Chains A and B, each alone.
Chain A
Amino acid sequence: MKKGWKYYACLLGSHLMWPVLAIKSDQGLISFNGADSDSPVLVTTDYYMTVYRVTQAIEDQNLRCHLLVVDGRGINVWCGSRGGSVDTDSVLAAISSTDLEHRVSHRNLILPQLAASSVSKVVLSDNGWNAVFGPVEIENVGEFLENENKKSPEQSIAIFSIHRRMEYNLAHLTFETIMFLMITPIFWVLSFMGGPLLSWHSYWMTNLLLLLIGVWILGTFMALVDPLMPTSSGYVRGAITGVLALAVWKMVLLVFSFFSVATVVYEWAWLDASGLTILGLSLFVGFNWGGSTPQLGEGQMIRDIIAGIASLVVLFALGFYFPTGLF
C-alpha cells in the first residue's frame, strides 16, 4: 500500500473530528506472498491506518498468509472492540461474505488481541472456527506464527512507544487546533453581549496564535515525558504540566525584566489572564491527551472529565472577574 492522502488524513486524526470522517479500507480477504489454502488467516478491522500497518508488517516479514478485513465501521481494533464497532458477528459476516471456508483447508483464525473484549472465541468455535488471539503488535506476528501460535507474556502487553506517542500527539493537536479555530469566532461574537463577556472581545482573536502555540508546546511536552508522569490521569498530568509551564513562563518574564527585585515579587504573585490561560490550556490538553493513552481506564477518564470541566469553569470565572490578576 502506498502512503496516499488517506494515510495522512488518518495521521492527522480525521476520525477524531467526526466518526463519519473515519477512513475505511476495503473489506474482504487479501492474500500475501502466494498464500494458498493451507496458509494462516489473520483478522483485522477496516480502519485504513490499521490495514496499512498490518499490510506493511506482513510484507516486511514476508509472511505467506491471508488477511481477513472485517467491518469495523472504519474504527481501529481496540477502540472498535471497546466501542461496539466490531464483534463476533462482524467476523462471522466477513467469513461468510468472503466464502472463507471454501478458500482455506483449515478452520483456524488469528484474531487481534485487542479485539478480545468483543470477539468471542467460544461463539466462533460454535460456528466451526478455532480462534486464537495473536500478539498486540503486528510486528510480532511472524514470531508468533513460527512458535506455533504462541506468544511471550511481553507480546501481550500494549506498549506506548515514543514514535506512537508522537503520532497520537499529531492527531490530537490537529484536532485541538481546529477546535480553537472554530470556537474563537464564537467567543468573539459572544463578547458583543457586553458585561464580563466584553473581556473576550480582543482576548481570543489577538491571542489565537499564542493559544495554538501553547497547545502544541504543552501537548508535545506531555507526549515526550509520558513515561515519567507519576499517574495515568490525564487531568493530573495536565495540572503538573500547567504548573511547570507557569513556572517557566514566569521565569521568562523575569529574564526579560533583568531580574529586578520588584518584578520578582510582582510576577510571582500575579496570576493574571496569561497564567490562568496556561493552566486552563494544560488541563484541556491533558485530559484530551489522557483519552488516547493505553494506560487510562474508563473510570479514570470519567473522573478526569468531571474534574477537568469543573476546573476550566473555575478558571474561566476567575478570568471574568479578575482579568488583571488575582492578587
Chain B
Amino acid sequence: MIIYDYDACSGCQECLNVCPRGVWGFSKSKNKAEILNSKKCIDCTSCEFQCPVRAIRIEKTLIPKSPQILGQPD
C-alpha cells in the first residue's frame, strides 16, 4: 500500500525516474507527483528509498489496500 504525503512532495520526479512499473505520474501545473496506477505497484520501495523529502511510504499488507494520500486538496 502506498502512503503518499502530497503536501511534502517537492516535485523532483525521482519517484517517476526509479519506478519500474509506471505507477507514478507528474502534474506540471501543481508541480507534484501523482499516483497514476497504484495496482501496478509491486512494493519494490524504490520510490520510498529515493524520495529526498520522505513523502512516500510503502507499507506491505497481506490484504491489498488502496493508497492513502495525505494533504491532497479536493
Contacts and interface: CB of A to CB of B under 8 A. Distances in A.
Question: A and B bound?
Answer: yes
A82 B21 contact: no
A136 B61 CA distance: 27
Interface stretch (A48-56, A112-120, A171-179, A268-276): A112-120
Contacts of B62: 299, 302-303
Contacts of B60: 298-299
B43 interface: yes
A167 to B, nearest CB: 18
A153 B40 CA distance: 15
A299 B64 contact: yes
Interface of A: 82, 113-114, 116-118, 120-122, 133, 136, 151, 153, 156-158, 294-300, 302-303
A299 B43 contact: yes
B3 to A, nearest CB: 14
Given A298-B60, A299-B61, A302-B62, A116 B18 contact: yes
Contacts of A302: 62
Contacts of A153: 16, 22
Considering the complex of A and B, which 8 residue pairs feature the smallest CB-CB distances, nearest first? A297-B42, A116-B46, A116-B18, A158-B20, A297-B43, A117-B46, A117-B45, A298-B43
B17 A133 contact: yes
A121 to B, nearest CB: 7
A156 B49 contact: no
B19 A156 contact: yes
A150 B49 CA distance: 20
Interface in B24-74: 40-46, 48-50, 52, 60-62, 64
28 contacts: A82-B44, A113-B18, A113-B20, A113-B46, A117-B45, A117-B49, A120-B49, A120-B50, A122-B52, A133-B18, A133-B50, A136-B20, A156-B16, A156-B17, A156-B18, A156-B19, A156-B20, A157-B20, A158-B21, A294-B20, A294-B42, A295-B21, A295-B42, A297-B41, A298-B43, A298-B60, A300-B64, A303-B62
Given A136-B20, A299-B64, 13 more contacts: A82-B44, A113-B18, A114-B20, A116-B49, A133-B18, A151-B17, A153-B16, A158-B21, A296-B42, A297-B44, A299-B61, A300-B64, A302-B62
A193 B50 CA distance: 56
Contacts of A117: 44-46, 48-49
Nearest to A232: B42
Contacts of B16: 153, 156
A95 to B, nearest CB: 20
B1 to A, nearest CB: 8
Contacts of A156: 16-20, 22
A158 to B, nearest CB: 4
A303 B60 CA distance: 12
A302 B45 CA distance: 17
A116 B43 CA distance: 12
A294 B18 CA distance: 14
Nearest to B61: A299
Contacts of B50: 116, 120-121, 133
A116 B42 CA distance: 14
Contacts of A300: 42, 64
Nearest to A295: B42
